[in-house]
Amino acid sequence: MRILLVEDDNGLSVSLSKQLEKAGFTIDTCADGEDALFYMEQNIYDLILLDRMLPHIDGITLLKKFRDTGKETPIIILTALGEVNDKITGLDAGADDYLVKPFATTELLARIRSIARRPRGWQENTSLSFLDICYFPENNRLSGSLGSFTLSKKEGSLLEFFLNNPGQTLPRNTILTKIWGIDAEVEDGNLDNYIHFVRRRLKNVSTQVQIKTIRGVGYRLEDAHVQKDS
């Protein structure tokens, strides 16, 4: 599972990152609210660990901004503010849990496991559909009128991103950041290769869904039978 850790205490950030990676999670980190908002908008996370006291944009404001976009990624607030009213403010702003510092890493891991068991957690979406196709992220399976095919992990992530944003023109840089990560060193041509792979999978299941190239910008998932301006 992929987790974003937003924590401005460098020592705590490094320590938590190591413990979470040891527990088998993939971790991205940032130390202020502005960077966190960018990460949250540009990447797909299974869980966000959010410090409340942050530079530039505080954790509560950041949480509200994120929830206003309609996204339901589970969020645990990590903070030294432990009064009852502080907890109420955080939970009412959209947090799924509230953990007061200092805390044991074992307790944090237990809370992560608890959220993972909830219906609204990262296992909530069993499939994504658009027009005549259906994609099952759990096993990277694409289903259409001519049957089903198993996609590679990267192909599946790419198709999932398009299916979450049908009809929207997605810039190349946004796709690269979402699928490969913000700090990944990846050649621009890799995206074109994987777009080709996914298009081939769509062709294999015989669908009216297409990934259209928007010249000079990026790509768009759309109905091949509907003409749109580029």
H, E, C per residue of 185-223? CCCHHHHHHHHHHHHHHHHHCCCCEEEEEECCCEEEEEE
Structure tokens at 208: 């009216």
Q: In the chain, what are the domain boundaries?
A: 2-117, 128-223
Rounded-to-integer distance, Cα 142 and Cα 129, Å = 10
Q: Is the pLDDT of residue 18 over 90?
A: yes
61: enclosing H helix or E strand? helix 59-68
What are the pLDDT digits (tens) for 68-99? 887 888 999 999 998 999 999 999 999 999 99
Fold type of domain 2-117: Rossmann fold (3.40.50)
Specify the CATH number for 128-223; select among 1.10.10.10, 3.40.605.10, 2.40.110.20, 3.30.56.10. Answer: 1.10.10.10
What are the pLDDT digits (tens) for 20-44? 998 888 899 999 999 999 888 777 7
Cβ distance 101 to 108 under 8 Å?
no
Mean pLDDT, range 195-211, rounded to an integer = 93
- The angle that helices 172-180 and 188-204 make with each other, rounded to 10 degrees, is 80
Number of CB atoms found within 10 A of residue 203's CB: 12
- According to the model, what pLDDT value does residue 227 have? 60
What are the pLDDT digits (tens) for 41-74? 777 788 999 999 999 999 999 999 998 887 888 9
- According to the model, what pLDDT value does residue 14 have? 95
The reply to whether 128-223 shares the fold of 2-117 is: no
E strands along 81-154, which residues?
Answer: 97-100, 128-130, 133-136, 141-144, 147-150
Instruction: Give the residue, 70 or 166, on which the prediction is more confident.
Output: 166
Number of CB atoms found within 10 A of residue 69's CB: 9
- According to the model, what pLDDT value does residue 35 have? 92
